[in-house]
Amino acid sequence: MSEPQQSGQNQVQNYIGGQWTDATGTDGMDVVNPATGETLSYVGFSTDGDVDEAVQHGQAAFNTWSQRPIEERIQPLFELKQLLEEHLDALAEVLVEEHGKTLDEARGELRRGIENVETACGMPTLMQAGHVENAAPNIDETAVRKPLGVFAAVTPFNFPGMIPLWFLPYAVASGNSFILKPSERDPLTTKYMFELIDEAGFPDGVVQLVNGSVDTVDALIEHDGIEGISFVGSTPVAKTIYQKAAANGKRVQAQGGAKNHIVVSETADLEFAARKSVSSALACSGERCLANDVVCVEESVYGEFRDLVVDIAASQVVGYGLDEETDVGALITPEHEERVRNYVETGVQEGANLVLDGRDVSVEGSEDGNFLGPCIFTDVTPDMVIAQEEIFGPVLSLMSVTDVDQGIEVLNSSDFGNAASLFTGEGAEARDFRHNAQAGNLAINAGTAAPMAFFHFGGQKDSFFGDLHAQAEDVVRFYTDETVYIERWPDA
Ligand code: NAD
Percent of the chain with pLDDT over 70: 98
Whether residue 9 has pLDDT greater than 60: no
Q: Which residue's alpha carbon is nearest to atom 38 within ligand 1?
A: 289
In DSSP notation, 192-257 reads HHHHHHHHHTPPTTSEEE---SHHHHHHHHH-TTEEEEEEES-HHHHHHHHHHHHHTT-EEEEE--
For atom 21 of ligand 1, the residue with the nearest CA is 214
Mean pLDDT confidence for 263-284 = 98
Question: Mean pLDDT for the chain?
Answer: 96
Residue nearest to atom 19 of ligand 1 (CA): 214
Q: What is the pLDDT of residue 4?
A: 53
The interface pTM score, or ipTM, of the predicted complex is 0.99
Q: What is the rounded CA–CA span in Å between residue 323 and residue 451?
A: 29
Residue 156 CB–ligand 1 contact under 6 Å: yes
Mutate to test the pocket of ligand 1, among 105, 232, 287 (most ligand atoms within 8 A of CB): 232
Indicate the SS3 state at residue 53: helix
Name the closest-CA residue to atom 17, ligand 1: 214
Cβ proximity of 404 and 263 under 8 Å: yes
pLDDT of 395 higher than 70: yes
Distances from the Cα of 263 to the Cα of 70, 408, 445, 482, angstroms: 45, 7, 10, 41
Closest ligand 1 atom to Cα of 237: 2
How far, in Å, is the centroid of ligand 1 from the Cα of 155?
A: 6
How is domain 11-256+463-485 classified at the CATH fold level? Answer: Aldehyde Dehydrogenase; Chain A, domain 1 (3.40.605)
CA distances from 37 to 151, 160, 322, 334 (A): 35, 19, 14, 9
Q: Give the confidence band of 3 by pLDDT, cuts at 50, 70, 90.
A: low
pLDDT at 7 over 70: no
Q: What is the pLDDT of residues 43-89, one digit of tens each?
A: 999 999 999 999 999 999 999 999 999 999 999 999 999 999 999 99
What Cα–Cα distance (Å) separates residue 188 from each residue in 42, 93, 108? 10, 11, 18
452 lines ligand 1 (CB under 6 A): no
The per-residue pLDDT for range 399-435, each reduced to its tens digit, is 999 999 999 999 999 999 999 999 999 999 999 999 9
Question: Could you tell me if the CB of 293 is within 6 A of ligand 1?
Answer: no
pLDDT at 490: 86
Q: Determine the CATH number of domain 260-444.
A: 3.40.309.10
Q: Is 298 in the pocket of ligand 1 (CB under 6 A)?
A: no
The residue ranges of every structural domain in the chain are: 11-256+463-485, 260-444
pLDDT at 8: 46
**Residue type (1 letter), 148:** L
Which of 280, 322, 288 is CA-nearest to residue 34? 322
Per-residue pLDDT, 218 = 98
Closest alpha carbon to 55 in 205, 195, 204: 205
Query: How many whole angstroms from 309 Cα to the centroid of ligand 1?
Result: 30
* Amino acid 220: pLDDT: 98
Residue 333 pLDDT: 98
213 lines ligand 1 (CB under 6 A): yes
C-beta separation of 382 from 401 below 8 A: no
Helix or strand run (H / E) with residue 126: helix 123-126
Q: Is the CB of 236 under 6 A from ligand 1?
A: no
Tens of pLDDT, residue by residue over 293-336, are 999 999 999 999 999 999 999 999 999 999 999 999 999 999 99
The yes-or-no verdict on residue 170 having pLDDT over 80 is yes
Helix and strand numbers, DSSP H then E, in the chain: 17, 23
